[in-house]
Amino acid sequence: MRRADRLFQIIHALRGRRTALPARQLAELLEVSLRTVYRDVADLQRSGVPIEGEAGVGYVLRKGADVPPLMFRPEELEALVVGARFARAFAGTRLAAGAATAMRKIEAVLPENLRERADRTRIFAPVFEDRHQADFARIIDCLHAAIDARQALQLCYRNLAEQPSARVVEPLCLAFWGGKWTLGAWCRMRGDFRNFRLDRISVIDDADECFEDDPARGLQAYLAAVRRRPHAPG
């Protein structure tokens, strides 16, 4: 667990308690040593979080005090909820899990009126638990990982005329167009940037090499090219 996540979990565990929470129980919850708990609590106290108590006794948040709530306007909170729902439905298992975790953390520190507003949001992105959805999520995860690792890929691709071709590409980004996903990449066969519709990629293989971060064919150059000719086909 990252230290920032651990500090958040300490505050969350103390929130609303009437009795002191022993350090040993915190250590078991966080799966860290007692020494780590003592150090983390001391750091929180020095940063102004109103935690009272000491080693061997336990810790509570000072009565009548609390950490400041996250201050979102209703429309900001709704945007976060809708974004998390869309990530869960369309962005693969990796980002779906991240969105769910982020929303749990946000909801844990929201004041009651905003928590209720989040529950009332009426914009949904339904998730269908079927084979097609699972297969597509794996494709998104595979491409997302390749982009992060700068891993060149071999694609089998069909263009709009249904003509197949084999490509070696340097993947740069994924884009969702409200119905279709595309992979933005440098295509070595074309010697130029191309957008590949994911539903027209039949095979994705590792090209067994990582590519260098070259500004001439990197993400910023790709975005500039898209602005000039946004619909360049694969």
Rounded Cα gap, residues 182 and 84, in angstroms: 20
- Tallying the residues shown for the chain, one arrives at 234
pLDDT tens digits, 150-173: 999 999 999 888 889 999 999 999
Rounded Cα gap, residues 112 and 82, in angstroms: 19
Q: How far is CA 110 from the centre of its chain?
A: 20
Cα–Cα distances in angstroms (integers) from residue 100 to residues 23, 89, 93, 96, 170, in the given order? 28, 11, 11, 6, 30
Burial (CB count within 10 angstroms: exposed 0-12, middle 13-18, buried 19+), residue 70: middle
CA dihedral (99, 104, 106, 109) in degrees, to 10, reads: -170
Residues 6+ apart with CB under 8 A from 220: none
- pLDDT top residue among 147 and 77: 147
Find residue 183's DSSP bridge partners: 174, 196
pLDDT value for 56: 76
pLDDT tens digits, 56-110: 788 988 765 555 555 677 788 888 888 998 988 888 889 988 888 888 877 766 7
Percent of the chain with pLDDT over 70: 92
pLDDT value for 69: 53
pLDDT value for 210: 94
122: its two tokens = 């009426």
pLDDT tens digits, 212-228: 989 999 999 999 998 88
pLDDT value for 78: 85
